Structure 1
Amino acid sequence: MSSMTAQTPATRNAAAAQQATLDELVVIAARHAADGLMDMATRMVAVLLDMTTAGPDPHLTGSRIRTGNLLKDNAYAFVHLASTGIELALKKEVAQLAPGLKPAAAAAPLILSLVPLEEMDSQLAFASVSRPFDLAHSEALASLGVRLGMLLGRGLVRAAHNPFRPEVFLRAIQQAWCEFEPDPQAHALVMPLLRPAVVFELGPLLAALNDKLKPARSSRNDGERFAKTDDSASARAARARRDAAVSQQLRQLFGAADPAQGAELDIPLIANLPQGSGGWRPSGAAGFVPGPASAPASSATPAAGFAAPAPGQSAPYHATMAPPPGAAGQPAGAALAALPAPLIGMLEKFAAGLPGSGDGAAAAAHGHEVFYLPRLKQSLPQGSLSRGDETTLDLLSRIFETVLLDDALPQETRELIAFLQVPVLKAALHDRSFFFEATHPARRMLDLLSNVGWEQPGSPDDPVYRAMRSSVEMVRREAEPQAFASAVADLEASIAEREHAQQAAIAGPIAQATRQEKQAAAKRSAKKAVALRLAGEDVVAVVGTFLEQRWTPVLSLAYTIEDSKPGAVDNATRAMDDLVWSVKPKTTQEGRKALIARLPALLTTLNKWLDAIKWQDAERLQFFAELAECHAAIVRAPIELSPDRQMELAVEAAQQDAMRRIALEQQAAAEEEQEEETALDPAAATLATLERGMRVEFTGSGGVRKVKLAWVSPLRTLFIFSGAGRQEAFSLPAERLLESFRTGSIRVLALDGVVGRVLTQAAGEAAMNDPMHAERAG
């Protein structure tokens, strides 16, 4: 009576995958063997026809000559027989290794029988012939046994059951020889030829099998993988590529519109920009209502956020700002001389109606509150501007609209930026690289003011705010494009001083966080190193306990001081490895002599490290007493070991080493898989790109809080933020930040400057309106 075992679809699929992998291994091994058989046959012929090793027996000499010539003339036949026999033998061994993967056959009656003497002699003979191969490839064979066991869900496939052990190949070659050689008396000639110098190389074959069974590596590029490192470099590279594309689009936008070329733009206009004459009300710009060109400045509606101060409040910055020469009807001729001729008179005429042009304090207090760049365009006769000049004015109108309507910027900052409309327009008309180069001084100044201005000044005496005011005054006073470079230099110097002061203020928390992170990382590395040595290792109990309890702190200390004392980790790790080696059996006199010679240095190193961690109690004396007894027992043990016992010990040592290596390999594969899963998490990807200086916005029960990332720990496990408006700095671990990104309670504010954001959007709209784009989309 036979019982049927029901298999689930998942079980059947797993069994099918295992069988497919085993079949692939057979194909790989058979192919490698077949590739080396022809060279092996050539070496066999050379040995058979070498009469210097023939001996005095004439019959044996004659048999070797006949067989050697037969093989020389019919090598292809022998290679075919041997390659076919090897493949069949491997399939048979694999079937015996995993019988559960094959369809169940009818149960056969159990028959007990004695093993024939001939078979026992054959087993002994092949065990002797295979021993040099087993010793030479013990490490690869042990690794293959461990990997096969993992494939089949077992702990280990022993050497005697490994379907790819050297004996399988040697037996198949011997059987092929018996089929190839018709003379039975010549069959014995093949056994002396089955030695490493003649048989094809098994090393590459076993290496290919091990590679096949290794965990699959990630197919993603290193730059695409998430790791606990700073990915901001790749993010900056991506932004640089995007900026280059936008710059190219803008160059195309202006390239054909240059008046010197006398050609009109042969691409569509940018959508949603102020066009031609007539009124224009920026979307959402409540209060930013440009009046007619002839309307006096004082009659314009004040901008939202730019209202006159309430009673008891200090006057806003514009009430104390000196009238700009360029805006008061005094444009610098030197600065405008290089501009397009039609615009010189237009700017001079328009400047007469700007704030501070004759209305005194009233004009200064109200007139400039109008978002006046659109008014300039409305005041010009339609068609009086070239396409390039018109695009310049349109883009700058959008840039200033974006800044002046940004409620996230303090009122004082927006008022400062409002005074730069005409100076920036002059600079952009003078040098169109304003739109292509992020380092253009005028563009850099706008970005600095908008980026730095997000932090509410504590008082009018704030050094950075004073530098912002001074920079704006310099640009308006000198009315030269070169003035922007000096203003930017002064502003950057002031910002750098504030950054230095902020870093000094959080130096203490940074030092503490760095120490804690370094200690935690050292402890993890130490535990991992000790666990690796003990995985699959038959270490005596006293040493195993010592490594886990006492040497882990030693390694932690070594990892902690590695930066200040290079070589500490290597020294402590080497001492651990030497200790493990010292308690392994020594089967030769040379091994015991080596143990005795290395013991003094090993004990000295152990004691130095144990002194460093201050382990001075009685347990330390007890450990060294037990260690001495262990070493004495190793030295006194009988040394006469049979070849089989030596082989057994060598294989066992190789298996333990293989299990330790593969355990580490599996751990690395698991970590990489976890990184792959993390890379697919948008929140984790965003966290990986955070870098110092970025601004983020937290949303919670207390409202919205905007802060700046002031510091990121070296291993990116801790982030310190500094708050705006002189709020105290605070720190968050990576786990909490990751959760905040997932819940949406934190977001990264725009990384690009305001100019870059507007230009990117405008270039994208222009591309969408390109007829060629429509054709490609259709």
Structure 2
Amino acid sequence: MASTTAQTPAVRKAAAAQQAALDELVAMAAAYALDALAGVAQRMSSALLDMTAAGPDPQQAARRIRSGNLLKDNPYAFVHLASTGIELALRKEVARLAPALSKPPTEAPLTLSLVPMEEMDDQLAFAGISRSFDIACSERLASLGVRLGMLLGRELVRASHNPFRPEVFLRALQEAWREFEPDADSHGLILPLLRTGIVFDFGPMLDLLSDKLKPARGERFAKTDDSAAARAVKARRDAAVTQGLKQLFGAAEPAFGADLDIPLIANLPQGSGGWRPSGAAGFAVAAPVAGVANAPAPHAAPGQPAGSHVAAPAGQGVAMAAIPAPLIEMLEKLSAGGVAAGAVPAGVPSQDVFYLPRLKQSLPQGSLSRGDETTLDLLSRIFETVLLDESIPQETRDLIAFLQVPVLKAALKDRSFFFEEAHPARRMLDLLSNVGWEQPGGQDDPVYRAMRRGVEKVREEGRPDAFAAAVAEVEASILEREQVEAQAIAGPIAQATRQEKQQAATRSAKKAVATRLAGEQLVALVGTFLEQRWTPVLTLAYVIEDSKPGAIDNATRAMDDLIWSVKPKATQEERKALISRLPGLLTTLNKWLDAVKWQDAERLQFFAELAECHAAIVRAPIELSPERQLELAVEAAQQDAMRRIAQEQAAAGEEDVPDVKDPAAASLATLVRGMRVEFTGKEGIRKLKLAWVSPLRTLFIFSGAGKKEAFSLPAERLLDAFRTGSIRVLAPEGVVGRVLTQAAGEAAMNDAHHDALHAAG
């Protein structure tokens, strides 16, 4: 009883990919044959009309004349029949090669039958006809067979089962002739015409098919792609932050607030930056209350920490509304009263504006919903982090201070501020803090002026789209500055790219030569030549591939042909193929050697010795039968192809990839353009921005603060810096994301601690 196995989607997808690849190969082979068949028809017609080969039989001569004229007058009909027949024959062969990819045939009872004598004679005749083609293409057939086997998950496809073997095309030509020629007595005229010189050359077609199945080259000089791993890491981090923030906000609660007067920000303390609690030194004493003249500052109760909130005594000017209201309503009243609106005056220090971290202390306990309270806490933490960061210039911090109330209102109206990096208000805050870190050139700097105009727009208009318009203007000014900076370092980038391209080309050339010499038993003459003289040729081919496509394949094929030419040739057909291919091979070798300017006497000596080697191969005695010669040639070609392709795969798998076990290499792999780093050296600490990464990540160009310096470092130097700890990568995300990540992490730790206490209890 037959059993059926259900195919998984993965299996079906893989089978569909294999079938698509085979269909594409068939289409390529059929197209190649179609282009060559017009020439085949012309050569066949000329051969038929050549009476010197007609023989003494007048009837045979008459048939040749009639058939030759028929083909000469109707070549397109024969080309159509032949091309159609070749494509159908190829598809049948592919179906036999991979029956699992085709529709499963219905089961039929097994029957035994004798092969007719005519069919046996035909098989023997075609074995003799196709032998010369098989031997001439043995190397290419073997390579294609190995690559077909890899496509189908096998060791290899034997030459006798290769769908693209010459016999398939020759039989299709015979069938097309029988259909084209109405005279049955003239059908036999086609067999003597199926020979080299009349039928098209199968070699280039087999090369095209084999190249199609080759894996993509490992090293290309494309734009660096740093995003894949970074996106995965960022996605995991964002998911964790989102989960933590959801726990912080919790379920929605009714929002209550209070009318209050807003205190002015106290004099900012000098510190090293980072998050500090509101009770830190410098924030212990509240500022005078806005709108209340000469109001005394609240003070801490005895035994209470400085900076903790106490209710202001009656009559001291701190008025709290008896009826709570949502925080957003209080902020709207503040805006209407002019506290949060108005143009940004030039030179106004941040101590004269509203300070967000003090707001919560001015509110009655329990007057805010959990959502409003969490929003206020997070934004207080964000702004205090920025306003205490000494790496940001004071003029930039002054601008950021004016954004406290507008950003708070935006976050209260749309909580996606905490979850979406592209939120306009969040983007505005990140832009100002990051651009400020790059030390703009004072208030006359175009970027600083755009930042100031953006802050004024946000404060004056107060609409949600005001943030988006301000962000667009700031980003446009940053883009203009980056274009100027790119022009400034265009020269070093071009030089570094050329240098890296040359190094990569040399490495690829050496790898290609080593792959072919490994395990090959070559004469010393050729092995030395490839290592010393052909490596520069391949290097040049890799360098010029972009401007001259096909250079790598041409130089590589010449190397493979040279290796094949000095191997023993056990058949007359192989030796004929060697003699016919030598002129083209020598021409190609000389053109490439001229390109690398190898012109000394050693070159003449090499070609003289190579000619002696080829002559010895051609003159060697042959004592084997034709069938055995073909078997040995095919077997040797298959073994060579399997070894060469296995070495190619091994070499391709040895691409330079970061060692994930090496922390320094892993850190180097995370560097992307635009990141900020700190270098610690004899000169102290230098804060730099990564301005450019070379395509193959072997060279990194950094620009300093104020764009006053730019220098490059190779990957090896950066690895040493990571290992010694002299380089530190600053947080890649914006200040909002950095603070939210910290807050979410603390919330997760608190939850874990609470769960542990609950379990212990």
TM-score by length of 1: 0.58
State the SS of the aligned residue for 1:246: helix
**Letter of the 1:544 counterpart:** G
Determine the structure 1 residue equivalent to 2:701: 720
Tell me if the contact between 1:232 and 1:689 (Cα under 8 Å) persists in the aligned partners.
no
C-alpha displacement of 1:362: 13
C-alpha displacement of 1:409: 1.0
C-alpha displacement of 1:458: 2.3
Determine the structure 2 residue equivalent to 1:396: 379
Give matches, 1:21-420, under 5 Å: 230-251=225-246, 253-254=248-249, 256-257=251-252, 259=254, 282=277, 285-289=280-284, 291=286, 294=289, 343-345=328-330, 348=333, 367-368=351-352, 372-420=355-403
Query: Using a 3 Å threshold, how does the CA distance of structure 1 residues 531 and 374 change in structure 2: closer, same or farther?
Result: closer
Cα distance in 1 for partners of 2:481, 2:395 equals 19
Larger relative contact order (Cα-Cα within 8 Å, sequence gap ≥ 6): 1
Determine the structure 2 residue equivalent to 1:475: 458
**Letter of the 1:467 counterpart:** A
Query: Using a 3 Å threshold, how does the CA distance of structure 1 residues 766 and 532 change in structure 2: closer, same or farther?
Result: closer
CA RMSD of aligned residues (A): 4.1
C-alpha displacement of 1:565: 1.6
> C-alpha deviations, 1:513-552, integer Å up to 9, x for none?
1111111111111112112222222222322222122211
737-746 vs 627-636, greater mean Cα deviation = 627-636
Determine the structure 2 residue equivalent to 1:628: 611
Cα distance in 2 for partners of 1:51, 1:342 equals 97
Of all paired residues, the percent bearing the same amino acid is 72
> C-alpha deviations, 1:178-215, integer Å up to 9, x for none?
xxxxxxxxxxxxxxxxxxxxxxxxxxxxxxxxxxxxxx
C-alpha displacement of 1:298: 8.4
Unaligned runs of 5+ in 1: 1-45, 53-134, 144-227, 263-279, 302-338
Determine the structure 1 residue equivalent to 2:504: 521
State the SS of the aligned residue for 1:424: helix
Cα distance in 2 for partners of 1:488, 1:572 equals 53
Determine the structure 2 residue equivalent to 1:57: none
C-alpha displacement of 1:639: 1.5
Query: Using a 3 Å threshold, how does the CA distance of structure 1 residues 377 and 618 change in structure 2: closer, same or farther?
Result: same
State the SS of the aligned residue for 2:464: coil
Is 1:560 aligned with 2:543?
Answer: yes
Equivalent residue in structure 2 for 1:616, among 599, 605, 625:
599
State the SS of the aligned residue for 1:747: strand
Give matches, 1:396-475, under 5 Å: 396-475=379-458
> C-alpha deviations, 1:121-148, integer Å up to 9, x for none?
xxxxxxxxxxxxxx9xxx99xx9xxxxx
Determine the structure 2 residue equivalent to 1:756: 737
Cα distance in 1 for partners of 2:736, 2:545 equals 46
C-alpha displacement of 1:618: 2.7
Cα distance in 2 for partners of 1:401, 1:742 equals 33
Query: Using a 3 Å threshold, how does the CA distance of structure 1 residues 457 and 348 change in structure 2: closer, same or farther?
Result: same
Determine the structure 2 residue equivalent to 1:594: 577
Determine the structure 1 residue equivalent to 2:187: none
State the SS of the aligned residue for 1:638: coil
Cα distance in 2 for partners of 1:707, 1:498 equals 16
Q: How many residues align?
A: 504
**Letter of the 1:291 counterpart:** A
C-alpha displacement of 1:432: 1.7
C-alpha displacement of 1:664: 5.7
Is 1:765 aligned with 2:714?
Answer: no
C-alpha displacement of 1:556: 0.5
State the SS of the aligned residue for 2:569: coil
Cα distance in 1 for partners of 2:421, 2:294 equals 36
Query: Using a 3 Å threshold, how does the CA distance of structure 1 residues 449 and 410 change in structure 2: closer, same or farther?
Result: same
Cα distance in 1 for partners of 2:368, 2:288 equals 17
**Letter of the 1:612 counterpart:** A
C-alpha displacement of 1:364: 5.3
> C-alpha deviations, 1:731-758, integer Å up to 9, x for none?
0000010110111100110011111111
Cα distance in 2 for partners of 1:292, 1:472 equals 24
State the SS of the aligned residue for 1:709: strand
C-alpha displacement of 1:663: 5.7
Is 1:681 aligned with 2:666?
Answer: no
Cα distance in 1 for partners of 2:572, 2:296 equals 104
Query: Using a 3 Å threshold, how does the CA distance of structure 1 residues 773 and 601 change in structure 2: closer, same or farther?
Result: farther
Determine the structure 1 residue equivalent to 2:623: 640
Tell me if the contact between 1:582 and 1:595 (Cα under 8 Å) persists in the aligned partners.
yes
Equivalent residue in structure 1 for 2:692, among 702, 711, 735:
711
Query: Using a 3 Å threshold, how does the CA distance of structure 1 residues 651 and 366 change in structure 2: closer, same or farther?
Result: closer
Cα distance in 2 for partners of 1:458, 1:361 equals 19
Tell me if the contact between 1:585 and 1:634 (Cα under 8 Å) persists in the aligned partners.
yes
Query: Using a 3 Å threshold, how does the CA distance of structure 1 residues 343 and 381 change in structure 2: closer, same or farther?
Result: farther
Cα distance in 1 for partners of 2:539, 2:347 equals 71
Cα distance in 1 for partners of 2:346, 2:602 equals 89
**Letter of the 2:536 counterpart:** P
**Letter of the 1:245 counterpart:** A
Query: Using a 3 Å threshold, how does the CA distance of structure 1 residues 248 and 405 change in structure 2: closer, same or farther?
Result: same
Tell me if the contact between 1:712 and 1:720 (Cα under 8 Å) persists in the aligned partners.
yes
Determine the structure 1 residue equivalent to 2:715: 734
Cα distance in 1 for partners of 2:636, 2:754 equals 69
Tell me if the contact between 1:575 and 1:602 (Cα under 8 Å) persists in the aligned partners.
yes
TM-score by length of 2: 0.59
Tell me if the contact between 1:699 and 1:746 (Cα under 8 Å) persists in the aligned partners.
yes
